[in-house]
Amino acid sequence: MSRGLPARRAAYDALVAVEEGDAYSNLAVPVAVADLPDARDRAFASFLAYETIRWTGTLDWALSQVSKRPVERLDPAVLRVLRIGALQLLKSDVPPRAAVDTSVDLIRSLVGRSKREALSGFVNGVLRNLGRRLDDLPWPDPVQQRIEHLALVTAHPAWQVEEVLARLGPDEGPAALAADNDNPGVTLRATADRDALVEELRAVGIDATPGSLTADAVHAPSADPRTLACVEQGRAAVQDEASMFVVESCEVSPGARVLDLCAGPGGKTAHLAALAGAAGKVVAVELHPHRAALVEEAAARLGVGVEVHVGDAHDPPVEAASFDVVLLDAPCTDLGTGRRRPDVRWRRTAADVGRAAAQQRSLLAAAGRLVRPGGRLVYSVCTWTRAETVGVVESAPEGLAHRSSRQLWPHIDDTDGMFVAVFEAEGVAG
């Protein structure tokens, strides 16, 4: 086995898990690289996997410029190897010869003897052609072909580029798309004293800083949560600051009755329970049993009480108009998670937005019936399409008074692209 091949094979295995196993990249990549004994190899394999997934559209476009065979007709194994090789040529400091030679070694390790010579020769030829043409690829004109250009240089499908530009305009939109590719690092929620947690992390060499958006957030970009005593002992929980902002928007008081709909995997639920305290009551409803189990695990790990039900948020097993606060963290296109789950952008289509928005409107109407008069309903989605955000707010049912909304953006808030809207229940909605 040639030097450098194990890391590339681990990256390849992660791509298989995402493409064929429908796994999310933030779960598939750590599993695929875990058995590599060297930390540098694990880091390199992770880089190859995440960035190959992130830049899929751009890599396929570049390969199409130098391959005699249409990219969409290539054998999946060959295409994955070519993408990994092209990523190294376009987006890394790996020497071109090493990028090509290890890609040839990788395809040879994956295919049977009868195909080995032909496919390794094809991979070698395509990547060598790409290496020779790096400086003269026919990139779309940034003015005349603005959408196509931004799609390739920011690694997003063209329809998502159009969505972001429509919401933010031609000047700010490109910054949001670029920031969607930044490494988000690790953010922790302090369950006790945030300042003490910051000092604890700094004492072990982690460059920890307090978050700026919420009261409990700690940014720890270089940390591995699996090795932190504060996480193991429940003094901190891994949670993006956008999710913390959603919970803070609920304004839960000690003793409150709180309902969390679509609750899995439970990070927000546990946070709500901590705010409600022992005198309060937090009920979680989750459609999928395995995600309901994750809610229970999250609550147990952090030592808070939550009543968990498996059920449909359209008709949950709870009493109407009986909760002080209802959180509806609705199913969505998840496009706001692009920094940590780049595969999502390639899984979604423009048609998915309309389907998601229709479900969100239905869920919002159902959630409104569960809030007591004068209570608070918080609607959140981890996305930025207009239809799923302000579009849902504009179609809110009677009985829900819209009080405030905020769209978080990675280039402004350094968080996931979460949307949060707050309503007050004026009566029974729907």
Looking at residue 401, what DSSP letter applies?
E
Distance CA 105, CA 112 (A): 13
User: In terms of C-beta distances under 8 Å and separation of at least 24 residues, what long-range contacts does 221-227 make, across chains too?
Assistant: 221/183, 221/185, 221/186, 222/185, 222/186, 223/185, 223/186, 223/188, 224/186, 225/186, 225/188
* Residues 56, 83 contacting (CB under 8 angstroms): yes
Distance CA 248, CA 254 (A): 13
In 3D space, the residue among 149, 156, 152 whose CA is nearest the CA of residue 176 turns out to be 156
Distance CA 114, CA 130 (A): 26
- At 244, is the secondary structure helix, strand, or coil? helix
Residue 15 to residues 1, 32, 83, Cα–Cα distance (Å): 20, 9, 10
Token reading at 20:
């064929």
Polymer length in residues for the chain: 430
Active site residue 262: no
Q: Partners of 404 in the beta sheet?
A: 422
Rounded to an integer, what is the distance from CA 131 to the centroid of its chain? 32
- Phi and psi dihedrals of 293, rounded to 5? -65, -35
Rg for the chain, CA atoms, rounded: 24
- At 222, is the secondary structure helix, strand, or coil? coil
* The one catalytic residue among 250, 262, 332, 382: 382
- At 194, is the secondary structure helix, strand, or coil? helix
The string of DSSP letters for 65-128 reads: TT-SS-GGGS-HHHHHHHHHHHHHHHHS-S-HHHHHHHHHHHHHHHS-HHHHHHHHHHHHHHHH
Q: Give the residue numbers annotated as catalytic, written as ranges.
A: 382
